[in-house]
Amino acid sequence: MRVALVAFTGLLAMASLAIGEPATPERIPDKARKLAERGRELHGKGDYALAIIAFKEAYVLAPSPGLLFNLAQAYRLQGNCDDAALMYRRFIATNPDPDARAIAEAHLATMDRCIAKRGLNLPMDESMAYLKVPPPEDKTLAILESPKAAPPSRRLQKLIGLGIAGAGGIALGTAGVFEYRAYQAQQDVEARYAAGDKWKNIAPIAERGERSASYARAFAIGGGVAAIAGVTVYLLGQRAERNAFVPVSVTPAKRGAEVSLAWQF
């Protein structure tokens, strides 16, 4: 029974390692990279409307904090305070580095003032003049890059989950075998009692039945825990794998959300 519990403890440890194991950065689709570069070119020329379209299409193929920042910049320089504020907030929510956060928070504060003034029909002050004529430094954008902290290896995580769940299934089957042996021993003891057999002949059978029942409980508990842990690890890996490429993208907009469907080609 101790050996069985130690084995299942090891399986659960493997599950925790699988969840935290680093993997190589994912490759960004070439189409997403080209769209991001096209958006940067359009942004540099001051064509913010088309730049926003390119950045959105790139984000559908490869969601990236850098693209959220680029969208925020383009919306801001276009004069769209509401969408710019929304994208700055989404970018800040990705926990960027301190310098990028400081820039985004400063722009977000200006966007919030813009929204408040427009809601009261007040004119823009000097701090918001760049909404009409952006200075050169405001055209700085983030470059679409592979994530610095890569997610766990989804395939390995799913395989380990299947392995743990399979081991749990085997343990549950073993528990069933021992349970059947315990049942047979109990039937044998009752039959010998009914036949008037002596206890010294019945005692070994009773002990074997109790031992089988103990093994059955241990394997049933360990197998159940392993099965649940394995299924959990597998589902976590599957969920992460699905999030690696989302064919349907929902992007928040000022009055709702924009839904985009993408294909890989």
Q: Where are the alpha helices (DSSP H) in the chain?
A: 2-20, 30-44, 48-61, 65-78, 81-92, 98-119, 154-195, 199-244
Of the pLDDT bands very low, low, confident and very high (cuts 50, 70, 90), residue 89 is very high
| Confidence band, pLDDT 50/70/90 cuts, at residue 159 | confident
CA torsion 249-148-86-74 (nearest 10°) is: -90
Q: Is the pLDDT of residue 93 over 80?
A: yes
The domain spans of the chain are: 2-22+152-244, 30-149
Which of these, 163, 171, 175, lies nearest to 229 by C-alpha position?
Answer: 163
Q: Does domain 30-149 have CATH number 1.20.140.160?
A: no
Average pLDDT estimate for 105-123: 81
Tokens 């935290």, residue located: 20
Q: What average pLDDT does this structure show over 198-222?
A: 89
Q: What are the tens digits of pLDDT across the range 33-46?
A: 999 999 999 998 98
